[in-house]
Chain A
């Protein structure tokens, strides 16, 4: 299959070389800095090549690229594991922070976005959309509980698609910007970067590392450890805690924030 899909690999090689040659660019914006890293150009160039209207690569090749992507993410896991090894005593000392910040990962998705989704007029879709970061394991939870053909299923799929299209780019920019503002310590930011998706974590951790190069390896060790926790605990936490909490908040907030289309109909 590698020879059948040679185009995407040659494409990837050219993209990587061009992106690395452009190098990191910093654009001051407000109180922070917009940090443009080679990985961001790589994502954008790749996206342009795979733009369906240009017909440069076939759907089959895009699927092959997606498979390569998930294999390569495993190399990242290894590289991070290697960096975690020597940092184990340090990580153990920060164990309390590492465990507690997971609450932020799991509940942080709901806190802002559920009220917003209701204000924007979403109904049950909002539950699927906001109960987690909606990667593959989370889709499985919704599929089992509600089925994919439900409003909850549509909500989770919508955010999943957004995540594949711009999740990593957004987290890279956001993490770089917050790092440059200098309000958080790089270790705290690194833990925050472990959102539970390999590519999003890598983009965020890479941006933080670019702002604080002197803490490079520690940043990656903290981000890797946090991401591992989010991934491993995530399945259980999302199923038994996040989803019930999201459903509870939905019932409480819907009458307050939801658009009451029914009332308008009645008043006519």
Chain B
């Protein structure tokens, strides 16, 4: 258990360097403030992982993390302003770019199987993703419009 945590934290620290470099190069945020922002995000994430792991109530990890993060900046939180200020210098896309870099780096393991697939499957996959995105957008647009919110 201990080695697992050590490994998780080491990964987050190494990827933290990559994320902060990207954040500085791509979005020109001051790295020292962004660093504090990253550590806040990391702290909440680790807390969420720990709760999902050790609490007897079994709820998805994503839900735990979301709830803690959400509460930390909700109007009732005394730290909301500080957290928003620091994490605001840690650009969302600067986290996404490394994620997709690793996604690309791991894609090779699926390529041999991917190559055996016919073009039909690829067309269907594109339709599956297009359908889910477009239909949800159309419904959201319609309801928001009916409610007069947009």
What residues of chain A have their CB less than 8 Å away from a CB belonging to chain B? 1-2, 8-9, 11-13, 15-17, 19-21, 23, 37-40, 42-52, 57, 59, 61-63, 65-69, 71-86, 88-89, 93-94, 96-98, 100-113, 116-117, 120-122, 126, 129-130, 133-134, 158-159, 161-168, 170-171, 174-175, 178, 184-185, 187-189, 191-196, 198-200, 202-206, 209-210, 220, 224, 226, 228, 231-232
CB pair B45 A228 closer than 8 Å: no
**Complex CA–CA separation, A165 to B105 (angstroms):** 10
CB pair B140 A191 closer than 8 Å: yes
What residues of chain B have their CB less than 8 Å away from a CB belonging to chain A? 7-8, 10-12, 14-15, 17-19, 21-22, 25-27, 41-42, 44-45, 48-49, 60-63, 65-75, 77, 80, 83-84, 87, 90, 92-114, 117, 120-141, 143-145, 147, 149-150
**Complex CA–CA separation, A68 to B42 (angstroms):** 14
**Complex CA–CA separation, A68 to B13 (angstroms):** 11
Q: Determine which of B27, B80, B99, B120 lies in contact with A120 in the assembled complex, contact meaning CB atoms within 8 Å.
A: B120
**Complex CA–CA separation, A11 to B101 (angstroms):** 9
Closest A residue, CB atoms, query B27: A20
CB pair B125 A73 closer than 8 Å: no
Closest B residue, CB atoms, query A219: B92
Q: Determine which of A73, A88, A103, A159 lies in contact with B99 in the assembled complex, contact meaning CB atoms within 8 Å.
A: A73
**Complex CA–CA separation, A38 to B143 (angstroms):** 33
CB pair A86 B84 closer than 8 Å: yes
**Residues in B neighbouring A162, C-beta threshold 8 A:** 114, 117, 121-122, 125
Say whether, besides A46-B101, A195-B133, A188 and B18 are in contact (CB < 8 Å).
no
**Complex CA–CA separation, A80 to B48 (angstroms):** 14
**Complex CA–CA separation, A57 to B147 (angstroms):** 53
**Residues in B neighbouring A86, C-beta threshold 8 A:** 73-75, 80, 84
**Residues in B neighbouring A23, C-beta threshold 8 A:** 26
CB pair A72 B15 closer than 8 Å: yes
CB pair A202 B99 closer than 8 Å: yes
B49 to chain A, nearest CB (A): 7
**Complex CA–CA separation, A78 to B143 (angstroms):** 28
Residue with the greatest number of chain B CB neighbours at <10 A, chosen from A66, A79, A226: A79
**Complex CA–CA separation, A163 to B109 (angstroms):** 13
**Complex CA–CA separation, A231 to B71 (angstroms):** 19
Q: List 5 A-B contacts (CB under 8 A).
A: A52-B111, A67-B11, A82-B44, A85-B73, A209-B92
CB pair B137 A232 closer than 8 Å: no
Say whether, besides A109-B128, A187-B144, A165 and B110 are in contact (CB < 8 Å).
yes
**Residues in B neighbouring A78, C-beta threshold 8 A:** 41, 44-45, 48, 65-66, 69
